[in-house]
Amino acid sequence: EIAAAGPRAPWGIVMMGSIFVTLSDRARLQSVDGGQGPGVGRLGSRVAATALATILAAAGPASAWIYVVAETFEGTGAGDQLGAGTSLAGIGDVDGDGAADYAIGAPFHGGAAGPYTGILSVYSGATESLLHAIEGAALNAELGYAVDGIDDVDGDGIPDLVVGGHAKAWIFSGADGDLVRVTESGESGDLYGWAVAGLGDLDGDEVPDFAVGAPGDGPGGANAGAVHLHSGATGSLIARVPGADENDRLGWSVAGVGDVDGDGIEDLLAGAPELGSTGFTTGPGHALLYSGGGGVIHRFEGYTLSVPGTSLSTDSRFGTSVAGVGDVDGDAVADFAVGAPTYAGDDPLFPLVGGVFVYSGADLAEILVLTGEAESFGFGGGMIGFGSAVDGGDDIDGDARDDLIVGAYFAGDGLFDMTGAAYAYSGATGTEIARIEGRDLGDMLGTSVALVGDVNGDGYAEALVGAPSYDGAAGSDTGKAYLVSVQPNCGCLTMPGSGGTTIAGTIAANLAVVAIPFVGVAIARRRIGGGRAVGGDQSPHRPI
C-alpha cells in the first residue's frame, strides 16, 4: 500500500510533509521516484512525484533491499533500440580514475552513413560523462549489437573493447575510442558478429584474444553455427569451432569463463539454443565448454519435457545466454551460467517460466538452478523469457561472493504485456536480491543485462539493464538503459535532494513502514541522472 501524508504535487513544486510507504507481507517492489525510476510494478510509477529511491520488499524479517536508478541513457532516434542484443557491458577502468566504466550500444541508430549504422557510447563510471562515441561508418553496420570488455590489446596498458555488428567485429581502444582491429568472416548470412567475448591469451603471444559468434554459419550444416577465435594481435583466425548439426545455432551466445581445465589458458562457453530444432519447433539446445588450448571440455545438454499420452513437448532453448559469473561457491575457481528462457521446470505444459543454470568450474556440477515465476497472463500463456540474458562476476550484496543478474524481457502483468524485468540474485544462496520491472507496456526491459563493477565507490557492483523497445521522446523503439545501484538494507534510507538537501528516513526491521520526510525540498523538472541521450548530437563521434 502507498499513502501520502502531505500534498501530491507535480515536478517543480516544493513538497511539504512526508510520504509513508507501507509494505505488506506480499509486497515485492515499492518506489517513490517522480515518474522516472523503478516503481510499483513499473519503471516510472508516479508516487507523489518525489524522491529517487526504491525499496525492495519480500515476506520475512529484515529482507529489504534498496536500489537506486543512478542514471538513464536513451536513444536519440526512433528505432535506435538502445540496449538490444548484448549491447551493454562493463569494460573496466578505461580512463584511469579508479572507477569501473561501461559501454552502451544502440545498434540500429542511423548515422552519417545512413540507416542502421549503429553507435557505441563509452561512459566514465566516476563522472557519468561520455568518454567516446563510436559510430558505424557503413550502411547496416549495426555496430554495437554485441559488446564486451577485453584486456589491453594495443599495448597502452588500458583495457579495450570488442564490439560486434552485422558481419563484422571490431576492437576499439579503451583509451581514445580509436579503431585497433576489424575482422569479418566474408560469408553471407552467417550472422558473424551476433555475439562477442573478450578472452585471455589463447595463442601464446601475450596479447589477449577474442571470440565472435556466427550462429548462421554452416560448416556443420545449414545454420549449425560456429564460433570464430581470433588473435587480438593480428585479427587472424586461431580456430573455428563448428556447430555439430543443422539448426544448432552455435555462437548465439559466447563468454569467457576463466581457466576451467587448468592448462593456464582461458576457456570459452558457447550456446547453441536451437539444437534439435526442425524449423517448425525450437530444440532443447546445448552449451559447449571449449578449452582455450583446443578441444571440447564438456557439452551441457538442454531440456525437453514431454506431455504423457500426447505428442506435445516443450523445449528449453538452453544456451540462449551464457556468462562467466566469477566464483559463486567460494572454492576460488570461476563458475559459469547458461540461460534457458523456455525451460518449463516440472510442468511440461505451461507456464514456460525459463531458467538459469549455474555450474561449478571446479567439477562442472550444477550449483544453482534459478527459475522465473509463473505469470497467469504472461506472453505465450506464462512465458516470461527468464534467462534470455544473464551476467555475473561482481558482488552486489557485499558478502564477498559474486552474484548474478538475469533478464526476462517478456515479463509483465497481462497478456502480451512485455514490460520486462531483471532480477539480481545472490551467487552464494540463489536468493533474489532485487527485482527491476519495466516502465511501460512493450518496453522489453531485461533484453540485455550487465554487471559493470563498482561505479560509485560504495563497495557494491552496479548493473546496467536495457529496454530496447522503450518509446522515448524521439519516437518508438528508441530504447533505454538504466544504471542501477543495489544496496542491502542498512536500516536507513538516504537520498540526494535538489539544492544540496538530503532526504532521509528509516526502514523498520520487518519492512513495515518507510517514512521519507520532504520538508521544503524542491524537485527540479529533469530526468533521473540527466537522462542521457545516446546518439544524435553527441561528440566526439568517431566514424569507423
Q: Is the same domain home to 23 and 135? A: no
User: Is residue 184 pLDDT above 60, yes or no?
Assistant: yes
Domain encompassing residue 47? 2-64+493-522
103/49 same-domain check: no
- pLDDT, tens digit (0-9, with 9 covering 90-100), for 107-122: 999 999 999 999 999 9
In a domain, 424, yes or no: no
Based on the fold, state whether residues 209 and 146 are members of the same structural domain. no
The pLDDT of residue 373: 78
Could you report the per-residue pLDDT of 408-417, keeping only the tens digit for each?
Answer: 998 887 667 8
Distances (CA, A) of 525 to 48, 84, 137, 179, 533: 14, 29, 36, 39, 16
Rg over CA atoms, the chain: 22
Among 38-52, 206-220, 306-320, the minimum mean pLDDT is found in 38-52
- List, for residues 282-312, the tens digit of each pLDDT value: 678 999 999 999 999 999 999 776 655 655 5
7-16, 367-376, 456-465: segment of lowest average pLDDT: 7-16
Domain boundary among 177, 194, 222: 177
Q: Are residues 191 and 301 in the same domain?
A: yes
Report pLDDT digits (tens) over 390-402: 999 999 988 899 9
Select the more confidently predicted residue: 512 or 252: 252
CB-based contact 438:29 (threshold 8 Å): no
450 pLDDT exceeds 50?
yes
Nearest alpha carbon to residue 66 among 528, 495, 532, 353: 495
pLDDT at 515: 33
Q: How high is the pLDDT of residue 465?
A: 98
Structure confidence at residue 535 (pLDDT): 52
Average the pLDDT over 362-377 and give the result: 83
pLDDT attached to residue 527: 26
Q: pLDDT band for 61, please (50, 70, 90 cuts).
A: very low
Q: What grid cell was written down for 362?
A: 571446479
Q: Which residues in 108-236 belong to E strands, given as ranges? A: 119-123, 130-135, 146-150, 160-164, 168-172, 179-184, 195-198, 210-214, 226-230
Better pLDDT: 64 or 272: 272
User: Which cell numbers in the block locate residue 66?
Assistant: 534498496
What is the arithmetic mean of pLDDT over 254-272?
Answer: 96
Asked, for residue 387, whether it belongs to a domain, the answer is no
Q: What is the pLDDT of residue 540?
A: 33
CA nearest to 115, candidates 88, 135, 132, 134: 135
In a domain, 229, yes or no: yes
CA 382/CA 157 separation, integer angstroms:
48
pLDDT at 281: 53
**Per-residue b/e over 350-376, b at no fewer than 16 CB within 10 Å?**
ebbbbbbbbbbbbeeeebbebbbbebe
Q: Are residues 44 and 142 in the same domain?
A: no
* Preceding amide of 496 cis, omega within 30: no
pTM: 0.81
Per residue in 521-541, pLDDT (tens digit) is 222 222 223 345 555 433 333
Higher local confidence (pLDDT), 240 or 493: 240
Give residue 271's region: left, alpha or beta (phi > 0; psi -120 to 50). beta
pLDDT band at 77 (very low <50, low <70, confident <90, very high): very high
Asked whether residue 253 is assigned to any structural domain, the reply reads yes
Lowest mean pLDDT among 64-68, 262-266, 476-480: 64-68
| 121/124 Cα distance (integer angstroms) | 10
Evaluate whether 49 touches 43 at the Cβ level (below 8 Å).
Answer: no
pLDDT at 304: 72
How do residues 319-368 score in pLDDT, each as one tens digit?
Answer: 999 999 999 999 999 999 999 998 887 655 555 789 999 999 999 999 99
Q: Judge if 196 and 266 occupy the same domain.
A: yes
Residue 336 domain flag: no
Cβ-in-10-Å burial (0-12, 13-18, 19+) of 296 comes to exposed
What average pLDDT does range 410-426 have in this prediction?
Answer: 86
Which helix H or strand E contains 423, and what residues bound it? strand 421-425
Residue 260 belongs to a domain: yes
The count of structural domains within the chain is 3
Residues 86 and 20 in one domain: no
194 & 318 share domain? yes
- Percent of the chain's residues with pLDDT above 90: 59
**Are 37 and 85 in the same domain?**
no
Query: Which of 268, 296, 326 is at the close of a domain?
Result: 326
13 with 120, same domain: the answer is no
Q: What's residue 438's pLDDT?
A: 87
Residues 44, 108 within the same domain: no
pLDDT greater than 70 at residue 520: no
Tell whether the model's pLDDT for residue 437 goes beyond 70: yes
Has residue 136 got a pLDDT over 90? yes
498 within a domain of the structure (yes/no): yes
pLDDT tens sequence across 138-155: 999 999 999 999 999 999
Give the mean pLDDT of the chain.
79
Kind and range of the H or E run holding 405: strand 403-408
**What pLDDT does residue 315 have?**
77
The residue among 177, 211, 229 that closes a domain is 177
State the pLDDT at residue 35. 32
Q: What is the mean pLDDT of residues 69-96?
A: 96
- pLDDT for residue 313: 57
Yes or no: say if 486 and 452 are a contact pair by the CB < 8 Å rule: no
Q: How does DSSP classify residue 118?
A: B
Q: What's the confidence (pLDDT) of residue 218?
A: 81
Element (H or E) spanning 380, and its range?
helix 379-382
What is the DSSP pairing of strand 532-534 with strand 65-75?
parallel
Q: How confident is the model at residue 316 (pLDDT cuts 50, 70, 90)?
A: confident
**Is there a single domain that holds both residue 189 and residue 321?**
yes
Residue 365 lies in a domain: no
Count Cβ atoms within 10 A of the Cβ of residue 419 and give its class: 0-12 exposed, 13-18 middle, 19 or more buried: buried
